[in-house]
Amino acid sequence: MTAIKHALQRDIFTPNDERLLSIVNVCKAGKKKRNCFLCATVTTERPVQVNVVKVKKSDKGDFYKRQTAWALRDLAVVDAKDAVKENPEFDLHFDKVYKWVASSTVEKNTFISCIWKLNQRYLRKKIDFTNVSSQLLEELPKVAEESVPSGENQSVAGGDEEAVDEYQELNAREEQDIEIMMEGCEYAISNAEAFAEKLSRELQVLDGANIQSIMASEKQVNILMKLLDEALKEVDQIEIKLSSYEEMLQSVKEQMDQISESNHLIHLSNTNNVKLLSEIEFLVNHMDLAKGHIKALQEGDLTSSRGIEACTNAADALLQCMNVALRPGHDMLHAVKQQQQRFSDLREQFARRLASHLNSVFVQQGHDQSSTLAQHSVELTLPNHHPFHRDLLRYAKLMEWLKNTDYGKYEGLTKNYMDYLSRLYEREIKDFFEVAKIKMTGTTKEGKKFGLHGSSGKLTGSTSSLNKLSVQSSGNRRSQSSSLLDMGNMSASDLDVADRTKFDKIFEQVLSELEPLCLAEQDFISKFFKLQQHQGISGSTTNEAEEMDGGNLSRSYPSGVPQTISSEKDMIRQMMTKIFRCIEPELNNLIALGDKIDSFNSLYMLVKMSHHVWTAQNVDPASFLSTTLGNVLVTVKRNFDKCISNQMKQMDEVKISKKSKVGILPFVAEFEEFAGLAESIFKNAERRGDLDKAYIKLIRAVFVSVEKVANESQKTPRDVVMMENFHHIFATLSRLKISCLEAEKKEAKQKYTDHLQSYVIYSLGQPLEKLNHFFEGVEARVAQGIREEEVSYQLAFNKQELRKVIKEYPGKEVKKGLDNLYKKVDKHLCEEENLLQVVWHSMQDEFIRQYKHFEGLIARCYPGSGITMEFTIQDILDYCSSIAQSH
């Protein structure tokens, strides 16, 4: 086994830098007996790795090869099967259970003992050794139960190492010496006992030589002993000197300890002084307000730019002193408390002085602006507030300081500003609108007709007068419709285009004056009161109510800081609503007046108002101006819808004269006027969709009403009423090119064409009545099955009868009949539509068509007879032309 162990070490483990510690010859249990070796090895390099290696003999030769290796740290259980009886079987539990049978129980026990020792030395992990004899693991209780010092551990470890290192490999020098020695004795291999005896004799010879050498060196040993005694004496003297030195140094050490302690106290004192100086400097630097700032806060001039700048700097310095972050314990110092109280008094005093001064400025602004109202009362312009805003913006930083330090006074100033400015703007805006109303209605005398009294031009708020005006307007429309039927005029309003253009310019001027006024005031409020227009206050709640009642903003906030306001943007809008509360009602009154003057004014107002709303929403969709104009736009849209409804109602209520011909109906002419006016107004407008919807409603109502009037007409034939009016509608739509009414334009053209054809056929009738009856009989015989060339043999339809009928219609009688027909058509048609020649040309074509039909029947039914009409197609053309020229 030793030779095998040596061979395995040399061939397998030494090349891998491993050292073989134990080996056991095994075979797998229950299988064919194929022997192999389990080897316990450790690496020579650190960190040490412990492995269990399976080695088996190669099938191709006598050398061994490494087959499988397991790390010892993966070993969980070592099962020896029986701790009492000798049993060569044992199990090793790695990733699975490996069952082995050793060649002998001694080898098994030696291998298990080696594994236990390797685990104790290198791994110290809990490997379960089951069914193992306690004698084999005799050191296990000591390791488990006792806690020994580190030195003992080392000795135990050393003992284990000696036990483990029982086999020591020969180095190269030793191997070379042994080989030389064995070469000197040829029988060293064949006769080991003789070789051993020879070695023993040589060892005895060496031992004798060593003893003799020692005895020869006794003199040198005695000399060495004497030298050692002298050295010991010198050491004793040195120790005495060292003791005296130590006593001297002890006193020095005590003195140095005292000096060190004193130095520590001095350093501690210096440290405390530095910290105290730092605290004092911090308080002085951060809580000391300059005398100049104090004077500015107490007596600074709030009227001059220099004084305002000094007060602003002083207020900022005061705020910094009050907001300084004190270190722990500072607030307990009497001086700090006294300084903080002084700062609070200064803040309160300056805030009160600032609020009083700004209130005075607000009041003075109201008086100054009132004095300038007279010069704007004649012109349609609003006073300019830019100088006032410019003067107040000098106080913007002070307002921000007041907002951060004393929110109560800041809120009071906000309310006072809204109260003063709302009264001022109300006077300015009302006077401005009165001038606009006077300019719309012309003179004061004319203005009374629309509910204006005196030079002030105020609207009477009576509901009855509004209703009366509405009835009068409706009555005027109906009277206009009647007069249109009688006189044939196409005017739809008492006001001409110039009056409507004038109203449009005045309304645009009103909106153009209001828009910059509101935007300038909103911008000033944002800058002066330090309110963000596009960003809400962080942490604000949106589900709590924010109310304004009589100019009071209701809030609940701790320590003067607002918490429930949804956003500063909402506050701006509420302030604007309070200040300009009169704009919306005044605009509504102006719109009502314009609608009473002329309902078509709603078209101008809808376009202008839509454009201004679109512009305002592009700037800020939630602003006061955008919201107010949006509300007014709803009113304008209602008036526009009302205008459309009134026109449709007038169409439904129209009455025609029974004594005169109808001609172009008044509502058809009104639609033409409305469409032309609307197209000029709504060109490139934002609200084109509203107009298109109105067009659809109106044109359908026009179609229905035209048919209704045509059915009720007694003087004028139904086809003429339909033909003339639908021709007029088609011409209007073709001229205006309204894209949304393309289908209606085609429908109007179709109706015009159909009724033109119907009227021509109805009016022309049967100009050659007897001849027509004759040929109807001929067609009836052909329909019964008689051949066309045989019809002439019928007694009632022979050639003689045909000649007799033809002689009754000479050219002179035909011309007379056509002349009477022309006069009849001329009485039916109206002059303004100028359709007489169109109708007469259509009748000429229809008459020629009948003539050709008769000529064809004669040619087919009476071939070779030589029978012809008394007049030709050229005669018909000459008759029609001469009749048209004579009239």
Q: List, for residues 597-615, the tens digit of each pLDDT value.
A: 888 888 888 888 888 888 8
Which of 219-233, 278-292, 420-434 ranks highest by mean pLDDT? 420-434
- Name the CA dihedral angle for 646, 649, 651, 652, rounded to a multiple of 10 degrees: 180
The rounded distance, in Å, linking the Cα atoms of 232 and 95 is: 67
DSSP H or E segment with residue 692: helix 688-712
Is 797 inside a domain boundary?
yes
Helices 497-528 and 396-405 sit at what angle, rounded to 10 degrees? 60
- In this predicted structure, the answer to whether residue 883 has a pLDDT above a threshold of 50 is yes
The answer as to whether 407 is a domain residue is no
Q: Report residue 14 as tokens.
A: 């030494």
Q: Is the pLDDT of residue 559 over 50?
A: no
Domain boundary among 89, 107, 136: 136
Nearest to 613 by CA among 638, 630, 600: 630
Tokens representing 153 are 């551990």
Alpha carbon distance 508, 515 (integer Å): 11
In a domain, 794, yes or no: yes
Angle, CA of 837, 839 and 843, to the nearest 5°: 110
Which structure tokens are listed for 292?
Answer: 């100049």
The distance in angstroms from the start CA to the end CA of the chain is 154
Q: Give yes or no for a contact between 492 and 669, defined as CB atoms under 8 angstroms apart.
A: yes
Q: Which helix (H) or strand (E) holds 38?
A: strand 36-43
Give the model's confidence band at 785: pLDDT under 50 very low, under 70 low, under 90 confident, else very high: confident
- Rounded Cα distance between 322 and 338, Å, is 12
Q: What is the pLDDT of residues 42-95, one digit of tens each?
A: 998 888 889 999 998 877 767 788 889 999 988 999 998 888 888 889 999 998
Question: Pairing state of beta strands 97-102 and 18-28?
Answer: antiparallel
Mean pLDDT score, 767-780: 81
* Separation CA 430–CA 586 (nearest Å): 7
Three-class secondary structure of residue 803 per DSSP: helix
Question: What pLDDT score does 537 carry?
Answer: 34
Judged by average pLDDT, the poorest of 91-95, 395-399, 517-521, 796-800 is 796-800
Whole-angstrom distance, CA of residue 465 vs CA of residue 471? 10
789 lies in some domain = yes
How confident is the model at residue 78, as a pLDDT? 92
73 within some domain = yes
pTM: predicted TM-score of the whole model, two decimal places: 0.55
Nearest to 6 by CA among 20, 25, 24, 26: 20
DSSP 13: I
- Contact indicator for 823, 885 with CB cutoff of 8 Å: no
- Dihedral-angle region of residue 601 (phi above 0 means left; psi in -120 to 50 means alpha; beta otherwise): alpha
pLDDT of residue 586: 92
pLDDT tens across 680-730, in order? 888 877 778 888 888 899 989 989 888 888 888 777 888 888 888 888 899
Token couple for 72: 């010892």
Return the closest-CA partner of residue 584 out of 370, 754, 430, 443: 430
Q: Closest Cα partner for 444 from 433, 458, 432, 429?
A: 458
Between residues 101 and 472, the one the model is more confident about: 101
- Residue 501, domain member (yes or no): no
| pLDDT, tens digit (0-9, with 9 covering 90-100), for 328-357 | 877 778 788 888 888 888 889 989 998 999
Name residue, tokens 């006016």.
677
116, 136, 156 - which closes a domain: 136
The predicted structure's pLDDT at residue 40: 94
| Residue found under tokens 């309310």 | 415
Return the pLDDT at 166. 47
- Is 603 in a helix, a strand, or coil? helix
Is residue 817 within 8 A of residue 880, CB to CB? The reply is: no
Angle at 827 between CA 822 and CA 831, to 5 degrees: 100
Reported confidence tier of residue 881, pLDDT bands at 50, 70, 90: confident
What total of structural domains would you count in the chain? 2
Give the C-alpha separation, 357 to 349, whole Å: 12
Q: Indicate whether 546 pLDDT > 60.
A: no
- Given 136, 164, 199, which residue is the final one in a domain? 136
Distance CA 370, CA 387 (A): 14
Among 318, 281, 515, 500, which residue's Cα sits nearest to residue 406?
318
The 10s digit of each residue's pLDDT in 649-683 is: 888 887 777 766 778 888 888 888 888 888 888 88
How far is 115 from 72, CA to CA, in rounded Å? 8
Q: Which residues contact 166 (CB under 8 A, 6 or more apart)?
A: none
213 compared with 295, residue with greater pLDDT: 295
Q: List the one residue out of 529, 524, 523, 316 whose CA is nearest residue 407.
A: 529
Q: What are phi and psi of 82, to 5 degrees?
A: -150, 125
* pLDDT tens-digit series, residues 127-157: 888 988 877 776 444 433 333 334 334 333 3
Query: Which range marks the domain in which residue 804 is found?
Result: 771-886
Count helices and strands in the chain by DSSP H and E runs: 30, 12
> Under 8 Å CB-to-CB from 307, ≥6 apart: which residues?
296, 300, 301
Grouping H, G, I as helix, E, B as strand and the rest as coil, residue 323 is coil
How confident is the model over 764-783, as a mean pLDDT? 80
* pLDDT score, position 485: 34
Given a cut of 90, is residue 39 above it in pLDDT? yes
pLDDT of residue 92: 92
832 part of a folded domain? yes
Read out DSSP for 403-416?
Answer: HHH-HHHHHHHHHH
- In terms of Cα–Cα distance, which of 283, 291, 422 is closest to 346? 291
Is residue 851 domain-resident?
yes
Mean of pLDDT over the chain: 78
Range 208-220 average pLDDT: 77
Instruction: Give the CATH number, domain containing residue 38.
Output: 2.30.29.90
Q: Which long-range contacts (CB under 8 A, 24 or more apart) does 608-617 make?
A: 608/504, 608/507, 608/508, 608/511, 609/511, 609/633, 609/636, 610/685, 610/686, 610/687, 611/685, 611/686, 612/511, 612/515, 614/686, 615/515, 616/515
The predicted pLDDT at position 533 comes to 59
> What is the structure's pLDDT at 187?
60
**pLDDT of 138:** 61
DSSP string, 65-80: EEEEEEEGGG--EEE-
How far, in Å, CA of 670 to CA of 650, rounded?
10
The answer to whether the beta carbons of residues 18 and 44 sit under 8 Å apart is yes
Using H for helix, E for strand and C for coil, what is the string for 428-453? HHHHHHHHHHHHHHCCHHHHHCCCEE
